[in-house]
Amino acid sequence: MARLLGTSASHGSGNRQNVLVDYLVVAGGGGGGAKGNADLGVGGGGGAGGFLESTLNNILFSTSYVVTVGAGGGSAGNGSDSVFATITSTGGGRGGSARGNGGNGGSGGGTWGDGTAGTGVTGQGFAGGRGPQAPFDGDASAGGGGGAGGAGGNGGTNTGGSGGASKNSNITGSSLAYAGGGGGTQSVTNDYAGEGGGGANAGSGSGPNGAGNSASANNGSGGGGSRGTAAAGGSGGSGRVILRYPSARTITVGAGLTSSTNTVGNNKVTIFNAGSGNVSFT
């Protein structure tokens, strides 16, 4: 069983030393679905970016490893993958627009009507929710995007699907939530507020004739669905990569990455909030 969030230790084997590195890799969240045409329809919530947390015990000293922080998807767009070394967390699936399908991803996007909700990647997130099936009526609502902690809720009559639950990590020394699903939009014709996201600052669905609400940066959450002709879905939140390793070790961060490092007990914690580049340990 992988050691998680304990005190890391280094090991030597001849001249090949390695360090145990705890990681959290969260991908960018999917954007909420856009109404975008005159047909009946409302946008589903965007799926959260994939959430992966464990330990790598084969990180070699003075060897370069790639770190990439995935961007959130724009309106009706998939989120981008986040990467550390051999670990890839999959970007969140887009919310379905009008009667279109939700996107597959780390967590899947929600949809409305006869569209298919997006699926999540096992071990990273869950599927999106869907709206009522045909016949469509003016009170039908859209499903929420899936989250790292649960599936997106299904829409009903005047009740949009809530975003799937987020998931907490203690890798920084504090419990913080990541990767909540975006909320679906309530009602095609009646003036109800959109449904809320699934935590971790996910976007909620829009109110009457409005754009979906965007997720906050660096949580990997999904954006909210929109309602109204040409209204945009909310953007998904960008991802985050966090590495925890022994305080006796030093990380070198290459150009192209935005990061900060703090000491927590016997470990250092480096947080990457944007960019792509190489890192190494000594």
Asked if the peptide bond before residue 135 counts as cis, ω within 30 degrees of 0, the response is yes
Give the pLDDT score at 198.
80
How much is the average pLDDT of 51-70?
Answer: 97
C-alpha pair distances (Å), 185 with each of 117, 200, 236:
14, 19, 15
Which helix (H) or strand (E) element contains residue 191? none
C-alpha pair distances (Å), 75 with each of 31, 67, 202, 241, 260:
5, 26, 14, 24, 30
Are 78 and 93 in contact by the 8 Å Cβ rule? The answer is: yes
Select the highest-mean-pLDDT range: 5-19, 90-104, 187-201, 236-250.
236-250
Give the pLDDT score at 98.
72
pLDDT of 138 above 60: no
The DSSP bridge pattern shows strands 257-264 and 176-178 to be unpaired
- Determine which of 11-15, 64-68, 89-93, 135-139 has the lowest per-residue pLDDT on average: 11-15
Amino acid at 59: I
Higher pLDDT, 186 or 166: 166
pLDDT of 53 above 90: yes
Give the pLDDT score at 50.
98
Give the pLDDT score at 187.
66
Give the pLDDT score at 162.
92
How much is the average pLDDT of 96-115?
Answer: 88
- Determine which of 34-43, 177-186, 220-229 has the lowest per-residue pLDDT on average: 34-43
| pLDDT band, very low/low/confident/very high, at 103 (cuts 50, 70, 90) | very high
Q: Distance between terminal CA atoms of the chain?
A: 26
What's the pLDDT tens digit per position in 188-241?
666 555 577 788 899 888 877 788 899 999 999 999 998 876 689 999 999 999
How much is the average pLDDT of 237-255?
Answer: 97
Give the pLDDT score at 196.
72
Mean pLDDT of the chain: 88
List 10's β-bridge partners, or say none: 19
- Predicted TM-score (pTM) of the model is 0.92
Among residues of the chain, what percentage have pLDDT more than 70?
A: 84
Give the pLDDT score at 5.
43
Give the pLDDT score at 3.
42
What DSSP line would sit under 143-172, residue for residue? PPPPBTTBPPPPPBBTBPPPPPP-EEE-TT
Residues 6+ apart with CB under 8 A from 271: 172, 240, 241, 242, 259, 260, 261, 262
210 DSSP 8-state letter: B
Give the pLDDT score at 227.
82
Helices (H), 86-203: none
Rounded Cα gap, residues 11 and 270, in angstroms: 21
Nearest to 228 by CA among 205, 208, 203: 208
